[in-house]
């Protein structure tokens, strides 16, 4: 009933001295989300199961026709401790006198169903993923890739034989022409992260002051192609993202932590129908922080 609430709430103009104010407008969005999780494991394998259900209803202006999307999904993932499974090369046992090392592989699949109620369209998706992490002493290198397989087709959430004045009649214009609708596409997500301790920064500060811990440098790259976000909007645009982030964390004192970070992103939004780039957004951020820990 979320679309009815959005359609009937705050959807009238403001009046002053008996006349309606011409410049008044508003938009309204309602969101709900429920999640649950279960996990179990042992020394070699960890298993997790997640489930979620959400709703997004919004209208762009006072007299706008609301959109409604119901999202349901679940995720299965397995995390394998490769150090306990293999016994050769990198996967040797940790012993005194050699650098600490570890390796973890994560794999699984995310399943989702997005019901675009006010458009009579249902989208189902399956997103298998795999990730691999290596750690050696103070350094780590992690990779993760995911492919989204999506399929959209018409689904009769709202009857197309409604008469004027009946509930949901206002949505007939949205769903006109969606009979026998079928579409398939896919997206890609890839990320890479490198992290290491920085000895030369520690040595530099040691000339004046001994840090309480080794500085940590982190570099992350993320690529997203043909992605959608139904959690924040009922009409998301497909977009591509190139994202890079770098940070340096310093433990200045046992009670004082600080750091520097830099982020940059290039986002390309595309038209749903023509696939042409409708707008590009380039952004960056430079920041520093200090935290007091007691």
What CATH number corresponds to the domain at position 286? 2.40.160
Q: How many domains does the chain have?
A: 1
Range of the domain at 221: 2-292
CB 221 within 8 A of CB 243: yes
Q: At which residue do the structure tokens 């590009």 appear?
A: 280
- CB distance 264 to 283 below 8 Å: yes
Q: Tens digit of pLDDT for each residue in 119-145?
A: 999 999 999 999 999 998 889 999 999
Quote the strand ranges of 60-214, DSSP E: 67-81, 101-116, 121-136, 139-154, 182-197
**Which pLDDT score, from 0 to 100, does residue 86 have?**
82
Q: For the chain, how big is the Rg over CA atoms in Å?
A: 26
Mean pLDDT across 260-272: 91
**Among the listed ranges 87-91, 173-177, 196-200, 247-251, which one has the minimum average pLDDT value?**
87-91
Q: Which of 51-55, 75-79, 154-158, 171-175 shows the lowest per-residue confidence on average (mean pLDDT)?
A: 171-175
Which pLDDT score, from 0 to 100, does residue 151 have? 94
- For 74-116, what is each residue's pLDDT tens digit? 999 999 998 888 877 777 777 777 778 889 999 999 999 999 9
Sequence-distant (6+) residues with CB within 8 A of 159 are: 168
**Which of 202, 200, 196, 201 lies closest to 217, judged by CA?**
196
Residue with tokens 């080794």: 214
What pLDDT score was predicted for residue 187?
93
Mean predicted confidence (pLDDT) in 185-211: 88
pLDDT of residue 204: 84
User: Comparing C-alpha atoms, which of 32, 16, 23, 119 is closest to residue 62?
Assistant: 23
Q: What is the pLDDT of residue 198?
A: 86
CA distances 96 to 93, 100, 104, 137, Å, are 10, 9, 21, 12
Phi, psi of 236 (to 5 degrees): -70, 145
Q: What was the pLDDT predicted at 22?
A: 80
Q: For residue 239, give the nearest of 230, 247, 248 by alpha carbon.
A: 230
């Amino acid at each position: 009933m979320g679309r009815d609430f959005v359609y009937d709430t705050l959807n009238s103009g403001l009046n002053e001295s008996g006349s309606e104010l011409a410049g008044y407008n508003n938009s309204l969005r309602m969101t709900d989300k429920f999640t649950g999780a279960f996990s179990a494991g042992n020394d070699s394998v960890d298993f997790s199961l997640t489930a979620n259900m959400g709703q997004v209803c919004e209208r762009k202006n006072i007299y706008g026709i609301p959109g409604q999307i119901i999202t349901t999904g679940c995720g299965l993932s397995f995390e394998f401790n490769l150090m306990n499974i293999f016994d050769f090369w990198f996967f040797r046992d940790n012993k005194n006198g050699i650098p600490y090392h570890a390796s973890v592989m994560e794999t699984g699949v995310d399943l989702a169903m997005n019901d675009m109620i006010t458009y009579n369209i249902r989208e189902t998706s399956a997103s298998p993923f795999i990730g691999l992490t290596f750690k050696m002493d103070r350094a780590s290198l992690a990779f993760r890739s995911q492919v989204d397989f999506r399929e959209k087709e018409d689904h009769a959430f709202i009857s197309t034989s409604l008469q004027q004045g009946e509930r949901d009649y206002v949505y007939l214009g949205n769903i006109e022409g969606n009979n026998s609708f079928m579409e398939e596409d896919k997206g890609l997500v890839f990320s890479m992260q490198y992290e290491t301790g920085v000895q030369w920064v520690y040595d530099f500060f040691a000339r004046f002051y001994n840090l309480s811990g080794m500085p940590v440098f982190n570099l992350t790259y993320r690529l997203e192609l043909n992605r959608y976000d139904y959690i924040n909007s009922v009409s998301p645009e497909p977009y591509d993202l190139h994202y890079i982030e770098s940070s340096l964390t310093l433990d200045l004192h046992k009670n004082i932590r600080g750091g520097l970070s830099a982020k940059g992103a290039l986002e390309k939004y595309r038209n749903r129908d023509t696939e042409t780039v409708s707008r590009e957004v380039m952004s960056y951020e430079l920041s520093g922080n200090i935290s007091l820990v007691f």
